[in-house]
Structure 1
Amino acid sequence: MTIEKISRSVVAVRATVPDDAFTANALGTRREGSGVVIRDNGLVLTIGYLITEAEEVWLTDQDGRVVAAHALAYDQETGFGLVQALSPLNLPAVQFGDARKANIGDAVTLADGIGQQVDAHIVTKQEFAGYWEYLIDEAIFIAPAHPSWGGAALFDRDGKLLGIGSLRLQMSRAGEVADINMVVPIDLLTPILDDLIKRGQAAKAPRPWLGAFSAESNGMVVVMSVAEGGPAAKAGLRQGDIISDVRDGEVDGLADFYRKLWQNPAGAEIPLRVVRDGRETWLRVKSADRNSFLKKPQLQ
């Protein structure tokens, strides 16, 4: 079967989020992207930020048929989201590939839910640390970039699903800046899929969350902003603060900061050494389960 036929199982995803949702200011209340059918019963895999706190979800196939859906699950660790169609989609489920075996230079196709496809290559596979307290050990990066990447499906040459589009970034290569897409590999879904379907979340303890949006600069972790009402804001963490230590451990970059942070349970009070205006101070941040701040999905 050709990529063109397989990619018809990619649908457009449209979600509406309440104005008072915790993520409304950061992600908006009207969100659009894509998703791909992974079960014949209409289970759709997408990128989770599209459906977080959604009160309405609609799926549109590439013939323009619209079906109501339910936001079933969002996994904070991987970033994957699941949507269940409430009427038959009559679209076949795609087959999963093995992202671990995909190599740099491999030809791939990123397909969205309105029929746009970008033929690309894998330019690198490496660790990715996101500013929103997110880390995956080996993300897939492809070029050229797809203009509608959120929730788009990445297929290998055999038409098997390798991952879901998450971000559009820029990468410097040979002195030139190129637009690339970051893709979350499908291998991260397999161990948690049954739990997400049955329980709406993975069967593991939640990670501690601070609500600090941070960037790495010359190996230092610099706070860009804090979530209003979140643990970091309540503890007095500010924009421009440099986080140098977590408990007794010196921080060496954003990924190291997250790994040290996640050694603690959600709800733990976490001491942070902070450099502010050239002076060091300690803050004690009572962490939280991020999901406790989010509105729960409501069945339409």
Structure 2
Amino acid sequence: MRDVQRIVGAFLLLILASLPTSAADGDVKPDAAALMRAIVRIDVTTPPDSQSARTLGTERAGTGAVIDGNGLILTIGYLIMEGAQLKVTDSEGRSYPAEFVAYDQVSGFGMVRAGFGFKAPPLRLGNAGGLKTGDAAVVLSRAGGSTALPVRVVDRREFAGYWEYLLDEAIFTSPPHPAFGGAALVDGTGRLVGIGSLIVGDAVPGQRMAGNMFVPVSALEPIFGDLLAYGRRQDTPRPWLGVNVREEQGRLLVERVTPRSPAESAGVRPGDQIVGVGGQRFSTLADFYRKLWALGPAGVAVPLEVMRGAQVQPVTVTSADRLRHLRLNPTY
């Protein structure tokens, strides 16, 4: 294990040496060994009857980045969502039980804390806004594949996910890291600037370029206190329908309806095309979400217009708070 770590450390040091540093850091290169120790593997087991098990499975593995001196680890939320058993494995292969700390549906972040005996130097949080298209960075992962992968930022843009998810600005990098879930995007100063969420085929719009989408860490700062104190942000929750929607040539097609969700109760079906919300038309999936969320908080009645065949039908969905449909920290 130590020989492997030395080899990986040497490789990471070469990558970091090729990245530009900022004048504010005095051109001091980060400590590759410390960076490696701050990256951990997270293994999660969820109950088979949990809602997320249907789409994400009951056994999940991904990466996390240590962000404080007491074992607090930042990762992607879908990895730990509804996890009943969590385990963290450090750079030396030692495993520790971990506890759920927080999940934020809006940003997609999740946090866990490693148990007694865990020690690792934390990563510093960087300025994700300062990362520009064309900048070099490195992706660090412990869930399989290359531990360290040099990448370039190929785009910064809005991202709308089919699961009622919207980022005003996401970070897209290429080439793709196959073990992207919770992977750390680190800039040339050794600071954490993003957390891995997806692999995509259009890292640059209009081009067939594979890459990864990262959630910028700038989205963490305004909610960090809430996540530590309450396990979730304290903003008024958005209305949730429970639909997976695919955007195709300007059309929004329902691919899946979550069981026991507001949409299922209202009779929304896979194959429906959503053509209006609240008496308004929309141009994109992101536009649909913004118009939906502007109707009011979770619980608001959402008047949809749905096309089935050649007919447009009104369907009113009584929305809900998504987190009330999840068991965020279940026990067997």
Give the TM bin, normalised by the shorter chain: over 0.9
The equivalent residue for 1:195 is 226
Summarize deviations over 1:260-285 as a string: whole Å, max 9, x none: 11112101111001111021110000
1:296 aligned to 2:325?
Answer: no
Summarize deviations over 1:63-104 as a string: whole Å, max 9, x none: 100010011110000000000112132101110111111100
The equivalent residue for 2:259 is 228
Structure-to-structure mapping, 1:5-24, within 5 angstroms: 5-24=34-53
Kept in 1: contact 2:203–2:212 (CA 8 A):
no
The equivalent residue for 1:272 is 304
Distance in 1 separating the partners of 2:327 and 2:270: 26
* Residue aligned with 1:146, SS: coil
Which among 115, 118, 121 is matched to residue 86 of structure 1? Answer: 115
Distance in 2 separating the partners of 1:81 and 1:73: 6
1:55 aligned to 2:84?
Answer: yes
The equivalent residue for 1:141 is 172
Once the two structures are overlaid, the 10-residue window that deviates more, 55-64 or 218-227, is 218-227
The equivalent residue for 1:246 is 277
Distance in 2 separating the partners of 1:50 and 1:294: 14
Distance in 2 separating the partners of 1:130 and 1:253: 12
Amino acid at match of 1:138: E
The equivalent residue for 2:151 is 120
Residue identity over aligned pairs, in percent, reads 43
Kept in 2: contact 1:17–1:55 (CA 8 A):
yes
The size of the alignment, in residue pairs, is 300
Distance in 1 separating the partners of 2:189 and 2:271: 47
TM-score (norm 1): 0.96
Structure 2 spans left out of the alignment, 5+ residues: 1-29
Kept in 2: contact 1:243–1:251 (CA 8 A):
no
Distance in 2 separating the partners of 1:252 and 1:271: 17
Structure-to-structure mapping, 1:24-173, within 5 angstroms: 24-113=53-142, 116-171=147-202
**CA distance 1:91–1:174, change in 2 (3 Å):** closer
* Residue aligned with 2:182, SS: coil
Which among 317, 320, 331 is matched to residue 285 of structure 1? Answer: 317
Amino acid at match of 2:306: V
Summarize deviations over 1:104-134 as a string: whole Å, max 9, x none: 0000101012571110000000000000000
Distance in 2 separating the partners of 1:173 and 1:197: 35
Structure 1 spans left out of the alignment, 5+ residues: none
- Deviation at residue 177 of structure 1 after TM alignment: 2.4
**CA distance 1:172–1:163, change in 2 (3 Å):** closer
More strand per residue: 1
* Residue aligned with 1:209, SS: coil
Distance in 2 separating the partners of 1:18 and 1:174: 38
User: How much is the aligned-residue C-alpha RMSD, in angstroms?
Assistant: 1.7
Once the two structures are overlaid, the 10-residue window that deviates more, 97-106 or 232-241, is 232-241
Kept in 2: contact 1:131–1:213 (CA 8 A):
yes
